Copies of this chain bind each other. A is one copy, B any other.
Amino acid sequence: MFEYEYPRAALAVDCVVFGLDETDLKVLLIQRKLAPFQHAWALPGGFVRLDEELDAAARRELEEEAGVSDVYLEQLYTVGTLGRDPRERVVTVAYYALAKLSDHRIRAATDAMGVGWFSLDDLPKLAFDHREIVEHAVLRLRGKVRYAPIGFELLPPRFSLTQLQKLYEMVLGTGLDKRNFRKKMLAMDLLVETDEVEQGVRHRAARLYRFDRRKYDRLTKQGFEFAM
């Protein structure tokens, strides 16, 4: 047992993991095994250990609860509303993560009972205030994807411009003009044309590109700002 002079809140982390399906932007949820909210869907997360960094705790919980690793992870905000956990005061540091659903390890790891990918407009009832956290994460993603090259974290290492555009359309919730999108994206000079093309499609195969992080870092140091 551990004793303190004043009462202390429990500290947790929760993760909103986004993944890009062929057709949809999805969120990773797990089914709770224990009360409260037993059997309800919830964000992966759990308590922070005393000797563990916050983002390490987030990654550990993702691995333990959903088998997910190697994601882009960023802190979202911290919620500590009184009564948000019926048991006791729990303050949770929320994170959002971007996973490459094209990564077969992730597909395999999350292919289990009690772990699932849900479309944003088809979420089940969520435990605690996790619904609000997801909403918040969506807004953040929407804001950030326009000013930072994080969209690429949702795509395979090699992708077509159409895939990239679809991603922006899903995240922003709007249609975009193909010619203008390509012009603007290519003009930033951050994509490298590979000599590969799409495979297994029954129409003209699209050229694949990769994101050049090196170049991005270099340009950024010179004051360049990503914008879409």
B4 and A2 contacting across the interface, CB-CB below 8 Å:
yes
Q: Which residues of B contact A7 (CB under 8 A)?
A: 2, 50
Known: A2-B8, A4-B8, A6-B50. 20 other contacts (CB 8 A): A1-B3, A1-B4, A1-B5, A2-B3, A2-B6, A4-B4, A6-B47, A7-B50, A8-B9, A8-B10, A8-B11, A9-B11, A11-B91, A51-B89, A53-B81, A54-B80, A75-B77, A78-B78, A78-B93, A80-B93
Chain A residues 41 to 83 lying within 8 A of chain B, measured CB to CB, are: 47-48, 50-54, 75, 77-78, 80-82
Min Cβ gap A153→B in Å is 20
Tell me the bound Cα distance from A81 to B54 in angstroms. Answer: 7
B54 and A91 contacting across the interface, CB-CB below 8 Å:
yes
B-binding residues in A (CB < 8 A): 1-11, 47-48, 50-54, 75, 77-78, 80-82, 89, 91, 93
Tell me the bound Cα distance from A52 to B81 in angstroms. Answer: 8
Q: Which residues of B contact A5 (CB under 8 A)?
A: 1-2
Tell me the bound Cα distance from A53 to B75 in angstroms. Answer: 20
Instruction: Name 21 A/B residue pairs within 8 A (Cβ), A-sorted.
Output: A1-B4, A2-B5, A2-B6, A2-B7, A2-B8, A3-B3, A4-B4, A6-B50, A7-B50, A8-B8, A8-B10, A8-B11, A9-B11, A9-B48, A51-B82, A52-B82, A53-B81, A54-B91, A75-B77, A77-B77, A78-B78
